[in-house]
Structure 1
Amino acid sequence: MFPSGSSLAFPASLSSILGHAHRDHSEKEVTPVRRKLECCAKFGHSTPMDVTLVTLDRPAGQTSPKKPTRLQQLLRINRVSPVLSDLFMASLPPVQQVWLQKRRGDHTKSIELNTQAPIPALEPGHVLVRVRAVALNPLGVKTMSTIPSFARKFPTMLENDLCGEILNPNDSEFQIGDEVFGMSTFEDCLKKGRGALGQYILVKTENLAHKPKNITADEAAGITLAGLTAYQGLVDQCKITAGQRLFINGGNSTVGRFAIQIAKNLGAYVVTSCSGENALKVKSFGADEIIDYKRVDLPSYLVKNYTSNPFDAIYDVVGNILNFFPRSAPVLNPKGLFLTISIDLPKGLGSKMRFLFLLFNVAVRPTWLGGVNRKWKFVTTKSNKTQLNTLAKLASEEKLRVDVDSTYGFDQAGLFAAFDRMKTNKACGKIVVHVP
C-alpha cells in the first residue's frame, strides 16, 4: 500500500501513540483506542502501520481486503478512528517540496522548486493526498506563457493530473492508504494556486477515484483530464450511440486514443487520422479505419470518399477548424456536430486579430451570409466524479488503455526535460513526472 522508501515516519511504539492521543484528544475519545491498541498488542501488532491495516480490515502484510481475522472480529471496526487519523497526520514532515510558477513565461524562466512549502491544512470537502506521479498536459505548458498575470494567482503550483495515496480521508468515502487518481482542477490552479506538482496536496473528493489495481501509478496519473475530455466530448456533446459513425481528427494524440476506445465501447464505427508510422499503434486502440494525413489533403479525401456515407459527428482533436470545418458539410450529417478541442492562437497582436477575423468568417458567419450549414462547438471539460469512476471501471476491465511515453524525475533537470518533451508535440502517450 505504501511503497518502500516512503517518507512517512511513525512513532515507534503503541505507548507513544497514546501519548500523542492524550495531547490532542479527550480521555473519552482515547479510551476505546487504548483498548483496541491493547488488543492489537496481544495479537502481535505493535506498530501504528499494523494498527492502521487492522483498522482498515486489512491484516498486517496484506494490501487488499480479506476475510476478517479473529483480531478484526474482536475489534469490530472497519474504518480508521479519528484519533488514529490524527496520529497519522502528526507523523508527517513539517515541510514539503513543490514546483511553483512565479511569473508568466516559459518554464525555463518562470518556475522554481520550493523545498520549504507547508503541508496544507484540511478543508471541508477535501482530502490530503501524497502524490506519487503527475502527468503533464499540453494545456499546462500553453497556459504558462499565455494567461496574463491579472487572470491567475501567483505563485501557482504546476499541473493537474495525479496519482497518489490518501493520507487524511477527512470523513470521505476514502480511507487512509487508498490509491487514487484524479486532478487538481484548472480553476483551482488559476484562483487558488493549487496544482499537482507537490508531495502533499489537497484535492476535492469529487475530483478523485480509486486507482484500478491492474494499472500502474504512471498510467493512472494520465487518465483524468484527457479521459474526461474524450468522454464528455463524445457522450455529453456529440451524444454518440451504438451504430453511429464518428471521425476523429488526430487519433494518435492522448485525447484521440481515449476517444477511439470510448467510442468503440459505446458501439460506434470509428474512422481516424494519424501518420502512417503510427497507424498500427492507433489501430490497436480499436479504430476501424485509419487515414494517413501526411499522404492526402484530409478534408478533400474525406469529401471524395465519405460523402455517400457521412459521419454523425466529427471530433477534431487537432484544432484544425479553419481548414477543416468549412469543408465538413458534405461528410457530416445535417444534425451532426463538429467538435473541436482547441485553437492555437498565433503570436503577435496583428496575427491574432487576423486569425480571429478568419475564425469568425469561417465558423461564426450565418448560413444566409455564406456560412457553413453545420453546427460546431468547442469541447469544454469539467470535473465529474461519476464519469471519472466510469473511466476507472473501463480501465479495470482492460477496455481503456493508457500508454506512457516517458517518465522523468522531480529535480530541475528532470522536470525541464519533461516540459521540453511536451513541446516537441511528438510524445506517443503521457509524459509523467515521479514525485519523491
Structure 2
Amino acid sequence: LGLHFFSPAHVMKLVEVIRAGTTSAATLATALRLAARLKKIPVLAGVCDGFIGNRILTRYRQTCDIMLMEGALPAQVDQALRGFGMAMGPYEVQDLSGLDIAYANRKRLGWRTKDGFRYIPIADRIVEETGRLGRKDSSYTCKVNGIPLTFNESAAVNFNYPWRDNFCELRDFHVGQCPGGYGHQGEDIKPGNCVMNNEGSDRCLPYQHTIAAVRDGLIWRLPGNLAAYLVINTPNEFVRFRYLHMNPKYMDEDGLISGRQVSQGEIIGKVATWGDFENGTSYHLHFNMQVMTKVGWVWVNPYMSLVLAYEKMIGGRGTELHEGDPVPAAPDKPPVVLHPPVIPQPKPVAAEAVSAKTTDAKTTDPKTTDEKTTDAKTTDAKTTDAKTTDAKTTDAKADLTDTKPAVEPDTKPGASAGASAKAEPATQPSSNGAETTPAGGK
C-alpha cells in the first residue's frame, strides 16, 4: 500500500491511496481512516505510472508544450490557466518544483523515441544544454539595488541586514511619488526570525508572529478579501492603513471584517504567506498607508513612521547608512527548528555493572578454600561494621536535623531571580532601497 501526498503536503488536501495486488481490506481501511484523521481527501488508485493526478498532469503539460511550439509564450499560457481558475500555471509549477523531476520521468519512459504522441524537446534541452532546473538552483538579485538574494527563505542572510526603504521598489503599481511613476506602494516587513518545521527546510512556517493594529480605528474588509484596512476618520484626519498577505480564511474566522472597532496594539492577525493562495509569497507582511486628498486616496511612504515607532520601542536611535558606508555587523539569527534531528547519545555505563565486573574478576582469581573462607569471614565482619557505621551516621544526621535553623538565610545581595534578555523587534522591513540600522547596530 502507498500514500501519495501532493506538494505542499501540509496545504494540499488530496492524497492518493495506492492499493497493491496483495493489500488486505483491513490495511486499506486503516489507510483511509488515517487520511481522514489528517483532514485529507483520500482517493483510491491502482499501481500505475503517475497514479491518477500525475497522469492527468502529464497530458495537461503535453498540450501546453504544443502551444509553445505553435507560438505561445510560457507566461501567456500561465496567465490563461490562472484566468481559468488554476492557482498557478503549468510552467510556474515546473519552475517552482524543479525541471529535473519531469526530465527524469521523460528519460525513464523514453519519450524521445516513443510512438503515439508529439514529443516536445524544450524542457529537456533547458536541462541538458543550460543545466538550469528552475527556481531551486537559480541565483537572482534585488530589482533595485542588485543585492544577491537566495531562494532559501530561512537562510541567515535574509535576516541579517540593515533596514531598507522599499516604498519605490520597481513594481507595476502606480505611485506618483516614485521615479517613473511606479513603485511598491508600501513596505514589506519581515519577522525578526524564521521558524522551520524541520532542519533543512527552505521555507519559514507561517502564523508564528502576530500583527497589531497601529492605531485606534475601524476595520474595512469584506469576507474573503485579501486586504484588511484600518481606517481613522476624525474631523482633522482621514487616513487608512492596509495589511496584506494574511490568510483570508483566518481573518474571516477571527471576525476581521467591516464594522469591527480595534484599539492600538490589539492583535488582529498573524504573519502568513498568502498571495492568492497559501505559500504564494514569502513570509512577510505588506504594510502601506494612504491619506484622502482632493484628488482621492494618495500613497504615503510609511518607512519613517516605522523607524520612529521602533526607536520609541527600544528607547534609542538608529544610525543612518549612506551609500559607501560600511555595513555594521549584524547578530546571527539562526532559524528556530521545531523538530531538530535526534542524535543518539552513548549510554553511560552503570556503576552496578562496573562493580559486578570487578567482583567477577576477583572470583576468577585462583585461591585456596581456606583463603575463600577467610575472605567470607572478613566480608561478614566488614558488613557488620558497615551496618554499625550506617546506624551511627543516621543518628548523627538526626542530631544535625534537630539543630538546623528554622528559617533559611536570605539570598545573597545582588542575586537575580531570572535572566534578563534584550528585546528584539518582532518585525523588520525587508531589503531594498535606502538603509538604516537599529540602534546599537554598529
TM-score > 0.5 by shorter chain? no
TM-score by length of 1: 0.21
Task: Give the structure with the higher percent helix.
Answer: 1
Structure of higher CA gyration radius:
2
- Higher normalized contact order (CA 8 Å, seq sep 6+, divided by chain length): 2
Q: Provide the TM-score with structure 2 as the length reference.
A: 0.21
